[in-house]
Amino acid sequence: MKECVLVTGGAGYIGSHTAVELVEAGMDVVLADNLTNSDMQAVEGVRRITGREVPFERVDCCDRAALGGVFARHRFGSVIHFAASKAVGESVCEPMKYYRNNLLSLMNVVDLMREHGRRNIVFSSSCTVYGEPDSLPVTERAPRKPATSPYGNTKQISEDILRDAIAAYGDLRGIALRYFNPIGAHPSALIGELPRGVPQNLVPYVTQTAAGVRECLSVFGDDYPTPDGSNIRDYIDVVDLARAHVVAIRRMIEGRNKADYEIFNIGTGRGVSVLELVRRFEQANNLKINHKIAPRRAGDIVAIWADPTLANTELGWRAERSLDETLRATWAWERHLRGI
């Protein structure tokens, strides 16, 4: 029988790209999303790209009864749990929203998986769990640092919930993927990131500046101890990232996992500064981005990039798209959105 995967947060940025890759890998998917920070446009995009009437359930994962209905109606064996709030700044102002959304939803998913005998879970974690790393590139063995935001704390606590539930009950297995900085869009330009309001993340701000929606990009700090003074991150293409979920699911279905709970960094292994990213975007798309140097943003870490060796060797996954391809795809998506 075909494997079926429940994708919570399936109308979101990473969820929608992952749904496409799952279908293209021959699996069925069920998308679940409460649409508070996402849009049916992404679900339609998934349907258009795959040519399939992918089922969608509008449900809040914090509503256990409603989510239980999804488990009762669909025969998936695995879950990829994306549904969560993810704005660092907002989490500082509204911590209870973040603890409730991010933790309750995961606990409901875990409880329902056990009740319904569904075994495999992939959890979307973040490199934020490493804080400011002591050495670079950062491996999965690096210590987790005290979280600097409620959002970051929910990722750490969620990893712990999963680790403990898997160890205690013996009827689940899971893989936590620690994403670095996901960017880009599907090459069809039918799905991509859909930020609401003023973008908080770098690349959507860059593309909106290029489109004339924003006047000027602020580069938050050029006096960091890095070669050009701006922060360094590991920008991972969202399609590459989506494929990491496919291999993680397959690994568990085929029983190739080495432990019931595993953790992998999902990044390129390449550190790129903010100023470099802006320059590369300009070159790749042959345009200019109006930008200025602004003060540092509170809470930003200086530099982080992944050592993805474990994912490369164990999962047989690696980032394939070049930064230029990714930056062209992201601009194609912005143009598609704006009709330019």
State the catalytic residue, choosing from 151, 179, 224, 235: 151
Binding mask 174-193 for ligand UD1 (x = CB under 6 A): -------x------------
Does the footprint of ligand UD1 cover residue 111 (CB under 6 A)? no
Q: Which of 88, 113, 165, 266 binds ligand UD1 (CB under 6 A)?
A: 88
CB nearer to ligand UD1: give 209 or 285. 209
Nearest-CA neighbor of 22 among 60, 67, 86, 76?
A: 76
Nearest-CA neighbor of 332 among 287, 291, 292, 290?
A: 287
Q: Which of 102, 231, 257, 285 binds ligand UD1 (CB under 6 A)?
A: 231
* Nearest distance from C-beta of residue 42 to ligand UD1, angstroms: 17
Stretch that binds ligand UD1, among 76-84, 111-119, 198-206, 326-334 (CB under 6 A): 198-206
Does the footprint of ligand UD1 cover residue 233 (CB under 6 A)? yes
- Considering only residues 273-302, where is the footprint of ligand UD1 by CB under 6 A? 274, 297, 300-301
CB nearer to ligand UD1: give 59 or 88. 88
CB nearer to ligand UD1: give 54 or 236. 236
Q: Are 59 and 9 in contact (CB under 8 A)?
A: no
Give the Cα separation of 158 and 175 in Å (integer): 12
Kind of pairing between the strands at 28-33 and 120-126: unpaired
Residue given tokens 């429940």 in the structure block: 6
* Nearest distance from C-beta of residue 11 to ligand UD1, angstroms: 17
Does the footprint of ligand UD1 cover residue 218 (CB under 6 A)? yes
CB nearer to ligand UD1: give 174 or 199. 199
Give the Cα separation of 205 and 213 in Å (integer): 9
Phi, psi of 319, rounded to the nearest 5 degrees: -70, 130
Which strands sit side by side in the sheet containing 120-126, from one edge to the other? 56-58, 28-33, 4-8, 78-81, 120-126, 173-179, 261-266
Helix (H) or strand (E) holding 181: strand 181-183
Residue given tokens 């992918």 in the structure block: 54
Q: Is the dihedral of CA 225, 226, 228, 230 positive or negative?
A: negative
Q: How many residues bind ligand UD1 (CB under 6 A)?
A: 20
Does the footprint of ligand UD1 cover residue 91 (CB under 6 A)? no
Q: Is 169 a catalytic residue?
A: no
Phi, psi of 333, rounded to the nearest 5 degrees: -65, -45
For the record, the structure tokens of 43 come out as: 């679900």
Stretch that binds ligand UD1, among 38-46, 77-85, 107-115, 217-225 (CB under 6 A): 217-225
Which residues of the shown chain bind ligand UD1 in the complex (CB under 6 A)? 86, 88, 126, 128, 152, 181, 200-202, 205, 217-220, 231, 233, 274, 297, 300-301
Query: Which residues are part of the catalytic machinery?
Result: 151
